[in-house]
């Protein structure tokens, strides 16, 4: 009888752990929770928030790439948590900074453009939803194109540093020709995959999501078309 109870418990345990695995797969040292069954109403830190921070705030000379203006370092999840009150955007320094009425104090400062209302809303809702470190793991690799798939990733994760009059590393990544250039010589793949011999990008920041890396690799393997 004991043996039967034991087997029964083992059976239940196995079922429960399988179910758990299909919903959440825990990854890497940053403890990101990757959710496969994504909730359309939920703001995902890795997919939705991180690109906004990376391209507007966590840039060299500001709050990333080793720079910590005003003691603020937004190049990691833990650094971002320092600037917010979980569950309360209106009591969060980060939210106050991006919505400040005073043109002298608003972030990002002039001559950068303020965040769009949509970007501000994403950050607000993420904080209010609990500011968790999660990623939506759905990855769609059908119909990968330059304009709809690759450019948004570069724009959100790279142009913050690689644009303007003095782009970082003397490299501007603001149009197709410039991006095709680093696709053709292997640099694009090398820097995003953190391959030996390349400087890991985003510089001093978190690596792109596996989905975004897969999208860029797919486009490179198609011969990086301008489509």
Give the residues lining the site for ligand HEC (CB under 6 A): 54, 59-60, 64-65, 157-158, 160-162, 168-169, 171, 182, 187-188, 191-192, 198-199, 201-203, 205, 208
In the complex with ligand HEC, which residue's Cβ is closer, 60 or 227? 60
Beta carbon of residue 157, minimum distance to ligand HEC (angstroms, whole number): 4
Beta carbon of residue 82, minimum distance to ligand HEC (angstroms, whole number): 18
In the complex with ligand HEC, which residue's Cβ is closer, 47 or 54? 54
Q: Alpha carbon of 52 to those of 45, 87, 121, 152, 170: distances in Å?
A: 10, 19, 11, 11, 23
Backbone angles phi, psi at 33, to 5 degrees: -100, 120
Beta strands in 108-186 (DSSP E): 134-136
Beta carbon of residue 20, minimum distance to ligand HEC (angstroms, whole number): 32
Residue 64's DSSP bridge partners are 60
What is the residue whose two structure tokens read 């978190």? 206
Beta carbon of residue 212, minimum distance to ligand HEC (angstroms, whole number): 8
Beta carbon of residue 116, minimum distance to ligand HEC (angstroms, whole number): 19
In the complex with ligand HEC, which residue's Cβ is closer, 89 or 154? 154
In the complex with ligand HEC, which residue's Cβ is closer, 85 or 178? 178
Numbers of helices and strands, H then E, in the chain: 9, 3
Task: Give, in degrees to the nearest 5, the angle at Cα 131 between 19 and 81.
Answer: 130
Is the bond into 111 cis (omega within 30 degrees of 0)? yes
Q: How many CA atoms lie within 13 A of 118 on its CB side?
A: 2
In the complex with ligand HEC, which residue's Cβ is closer, 129 or 159? 159
In the complex with ligand HEC, which residue's Cβ is closer, 14 or 210? 210
In the complex with ligand HEC, which residue's Cβ is closer, 130 or 186? 186
Question: What is the C-alpha separation between 41 and 165, in angstroms, rounded?
Answer: 39
Beta carbon of residue 160, minimum distance to ligand HEC (angstroms, whole number): 5
Rounded to the nearest 5 percent, the helix, strand and coil shares of the chain are 45, 5, 50
Beta carbon of residue 59, minimum distance to ligand HEC (angstroms, whole number): 5
């Amino acid at each position: 009888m004991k043996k039967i109870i034991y087997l029964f418990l083992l059976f239940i345990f196995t079922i429960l752990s399988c179910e758990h695995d299909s919903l959440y797969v825990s990854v890497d040292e940053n403890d990101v929770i990757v959710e496969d069954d994504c909730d359309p109403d939920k703001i995902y830190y890795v997919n939705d928030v991180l690109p906004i921070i990376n391209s507007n705030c966590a840039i060299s000379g500001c709050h990333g790439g080793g720079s910590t203006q005003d003691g603020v370092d937004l190049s990691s999840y833990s650094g971002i948590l320092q600037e917010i009150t979980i569950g309360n955007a209106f009591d969060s320094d980060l939210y106050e900074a991006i919505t400040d009425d005073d043109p002298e104090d608003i972030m990002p400062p002039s001559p950068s453009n303020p965040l769009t209302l949509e970007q501000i809303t994403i950050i607000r809702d993420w904080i209010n939803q609990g500011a968790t470190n999660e990623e939506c793991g759905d990855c769609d690799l059908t119909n990968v194109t330059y304009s709809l798939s690759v450019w948004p990733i570069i724009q959100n994760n790279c142009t913050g540093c690689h644009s303007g009059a003095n782009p970082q590393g003397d490299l501007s990544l603001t149009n197709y020709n410039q991006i095709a250039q680093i696709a053709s010589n292997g640099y694009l793949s090398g820097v995003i995959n953190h391959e030996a011999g390349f400087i890991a990008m985003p510089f001093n920041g978190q690596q792109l999501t596996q989905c975004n890396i897969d999208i860029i690799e797919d486009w490179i393997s198609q011969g990086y078309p301008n489509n």
